[in-house]
Chain A
Amino acid sequence: MTASQDLATAAADADPRVGLRAVLALRRLAERLEVVQVRRARAQGWSWQEIAKALEVSRQAVHKKHGKG
């Protein structure tokens, strides 16, 4: 089964708890991936503007979220 079919299965699950829990886990995974990749990009000399463009958010948003420290 492909990932998109799995997604469709979870989305169509009779019990919304299963689907919603998957949404929560995906959000956490996305957060985690973002932290890792933004850090990697900064370490390789990317500007906040370049990172913002890649994530399709404003420079202010990405700097506010990841810029401290």
Chain B
Amino acid sequence: MLERFTRGARTVVTTAVEDARRSGAGSVRPEHLLSAVLVDVHSPAVQALAGLGAPVSELRQVVAGLRGRYGEGLDAADAEALRSIGIDLDDVVRLIDAGPGSRRGRVRLSADSRRVLELALGEAVRLRERFIGSEHLLLGLVTVDDSLVQEVLRAFDLTSGEVCSAVAGAERRTG
């Protein structure tokens, strides 16, 4: 499947893998892919989001806030659930967030991230595109059920459907 990826989409995947490895994550999750999609400000994915009122600088801030706040593998919903049993996740994260983080070796894609790539392929086929670009990865990201991605969309009052329409609209205009 990777041979059908554009250079931009390949860069997104390798950037996400490197990001996950550096941050000591157990696997490459959709949040790493989303952060990587936001690196290239000229990509169709970033342009489509900007057109929907979600500028890249603000997007990066929101993603970084959600990712950094609770550490790997825990999100705002987990924090709320833990509060219901008297655990302050912010306190816990502060306590554990010391020490060296990076791990060596390969970090694999999580099941959800593999699903994102499959969905991206499906979207490219559906839109009659020969190649899979970062915008198709974005479609995969908003389609897969990932709590952090969905929370980012909510922060900008966006739905998955709106993002899909915007990307499809941009494709029709350019190609």
Contact = CB atoms under 8 A, between A and B. Distances in A.
Interface in A10-24: 10, 13, 18, 21-22, 24
B81 A31 contact: no
B96 A33 contact: yes
| Majority-rule SS of A interface residues | helix
A32 B24 contact: no
Interface residues of B, number: 25
B149 to A, nearest CB: 17
Given A3-B87, A7-B85, A32-B96, A25 B78 contact: yes
19 contacts: A3-B86, A10-B84, A13-B84, A22-B81, A22-B82, A22-B85, A25-B74, A25-B77, A25-B81, A28-B73, A28-B78, A29-B82, A32-B71, A32-B72, A32-B74, A35-B26, A35-B72, A36-B96, A39-B99
Interface of B: 24, 26, 71-74, 77-79, 81-82, 84-87, 89, 92, 96, 99-100, 103-107
